[in-house]
């Protein structure tokens, strides 16, 4: 009996039980579950299930309101909480909860034209275009992996968080994925794509380090040009005073995220994980600084050596979630990007023992995170930092692939 249990455990850890049919069956069930869940939440937030005590809204209202203020000639008021909140309520309904806007004026270049459309139409357009962009990048990464990848990708829990909240994570992941795709053949264009991430600047924290380690000089030039160019355009369009208002506003963001106004279980970084475990904000910042140092060393070593593009790109996507102070559940979309790169490596060179099991575990961990976020206040979350643990697991797979060669014939996943 003991030998049988050990054999089952080895089979589970190795991951051979996760063949195409099982993966697609799991993905279809998860996708159907989340579609139903999203429909229930949409109906619930509009009072179609039970009466609401106060109106609800989405994160996207923050973008729309900021863009509207910019269009009307007052871009600096996007960083004035009172003025911004007033515009959010004008856009949706009085009494909604405030959605902060801590993005640099570069992002206003996109928010402003979006605000010319009515809120709901703008929401749908933004999500449709950015989701399409992201899926096109994923398709290019997956290559000839078959069509099953689309079901597995759409079933990834952060996809529905991004759609439901109207967040910009599709755009962030697409720009990072496109930059890595273009790096071998169009390094300057790759740099332009990566430089465009300056609209969410902390997500580029590892990029200068890895591009230097990889001796990607043309990509560095492209990234610098894109970031500098977009910043200059934003200054010319919105004025230097808007940047001054932004820099003043972000000084208050630290207190917002330390306060628990955003559920710690929904944070995907070591900082958020430390707060969830009960550490003080000062201790949590210390944990994050240590995680940044360890992650930077690991990712730089991967890029310094003769490692494949797939492993390099996956390490940046996963490592970013461990390196930044703030990343929320929808930002974990970067792990789908990282797993897509590792699946591409597995299809090319063979999957290592345990890789598919880790992928499966990441899906389950994020599904559990979703459950606690949806039921917050009803079913308190346990002090388990699921987001950073999932990111660390994927980064460990990258380090392992970089340190050792693969043995075995290529086997398709989907």
Phi, psi for residue 267 in degrees, rounded to 5 = -85, 140
In a domain, 65, yes or no: no
Residue 323 placed within a domain = yes
Determine the pLDDT at residue 16. 66
pLDDT-flagged residues of the chain (< 50): 406-414
- Is 104 within a domain? no
Q: Is residue 376 part of a domain?
A: yes
In this prediction the pTM is 0.91
Contact 226, 191 (CB under 8 A): yes
Residue 87, pLDDT score: 95
Q: What is the pLDDT of residue 147?
A: 73
In this structure, is residue 180 part of a structural domain? Answer: yes
Confidence at residue 411, expressed as pLDDT on a 0 to 100 scale: 38
3-state class (DSSP) for residue 97: coil
Q: What angle do CA 147, 159, 177 make, to 5 degrees?
A: 70
Q: Quick check: is 10 in a domain?
A: no
- Reduced to 3 states (helix: H, G, I; strand: E, B; else coil), residue 267 is strand
Count how many domains the chain has.
Answer: 1
pLDDT at 409: 35
Which pLDDT value is given to residue 57? 82
In a domain, 96, yes or no: no
**pLDDT the model gives residue 50:** 59
Find the domain containing 391 and state its range. Answer: 146-403
Query: In whole angstroms, what is the distance from residue 407 CA to residue 266 CA?
Result: 38
Task: From 8, 126, 18, 20, select the one nearest 67 (Cα to Cα).
Answer: 126
Where helices occur in 46-80 by DSSP H, the ranges are 60-71
Residue 25 resides in a domain? no
The alpha carbon of residue 355 and the mean position of all alpha carbons in its chain are separated, in whole angstroms, by: 21
């Amino acid at each position: 009996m003991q030998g049988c249990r050990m054999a089952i455990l080895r089979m589970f850890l190795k991951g051979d039980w996760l063949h195409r049919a099982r993966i697609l069956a799991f993905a279809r069930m998860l996708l159907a579950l989340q579609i139903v869940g999203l429909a229930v939440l949409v109906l619930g937030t509009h009072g179609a299930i039970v009466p609401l005590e106060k109106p609800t809204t989405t994160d996207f209202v923050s973008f729309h309101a900021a863009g509207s203020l910019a269009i009307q000639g007052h871009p600096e008021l996007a960083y004035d909480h009172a003025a911004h909140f007033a515009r959010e309520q004008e856009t949706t309904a009085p009494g909604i909860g405030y959605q902060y806007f801590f993005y640099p004026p570069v992002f206003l270049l996109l928010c402003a034209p979006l605000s010319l459309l009515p809120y709901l139409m703008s929401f749908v357009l933004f999500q449709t275009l950015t989701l399409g962009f992201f899926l096109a990048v994923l398709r290019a990464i997956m290559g000839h992996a078959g069509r099953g990848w689309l079901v597995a990708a759409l079933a990834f829990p952060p996809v529905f968080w991004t759609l439901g909240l109207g967040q910009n994570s599709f755009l962030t992941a697409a720009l990072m994925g496109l930059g890595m795709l273009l790096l071998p053949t169009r390094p300057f264009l790759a740099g332009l794509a990566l430089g465009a991430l300056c609209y969410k600047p902390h997500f580029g924290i590892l990029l200068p380090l890895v591009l230097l380690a990889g001796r990607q000089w043309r990509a560095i030039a492209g990234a610098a040009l894109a970031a500098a160019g977009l910043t200059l355009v934003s200054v010319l369009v919105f004025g230097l005073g808007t940047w001054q208002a932004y820099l003043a506003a972000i000084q208050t963001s630290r207190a917002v995220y330390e306060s628990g106004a955003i559920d710690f279980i929904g944070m995907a970084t070591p900082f958020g994980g430390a707060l969830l475990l009960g550490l003080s904000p000062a201790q949590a910042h210390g944990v994050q600084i240590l995680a940044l140092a360890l992650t930077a060393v690991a990712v730089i070593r991967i890029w310094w050596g003769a490692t494949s593009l797939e492993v390099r790109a996956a390490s940046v996507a996963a490592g970013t979630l461990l390196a930044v102070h703030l990343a929320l559940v929808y930002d974990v979309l970067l792990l789908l990007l990282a797993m897509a790169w590792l699946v591409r490596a597995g299809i090319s060179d063979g999957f290592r023992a345990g890789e598919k099991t880790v992928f499966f575990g990441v899906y389950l961990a994020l599904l559990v995170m979703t459950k606690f976020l949806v039921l917050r206040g009803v079913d308190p979350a346990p002090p388990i930092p699921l987001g950073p643990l999932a990111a660390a697991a994927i980064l460990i797979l990258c380090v392992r692939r970089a340190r050792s060669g693969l043995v075995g014939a290529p086997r398709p996943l989907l």
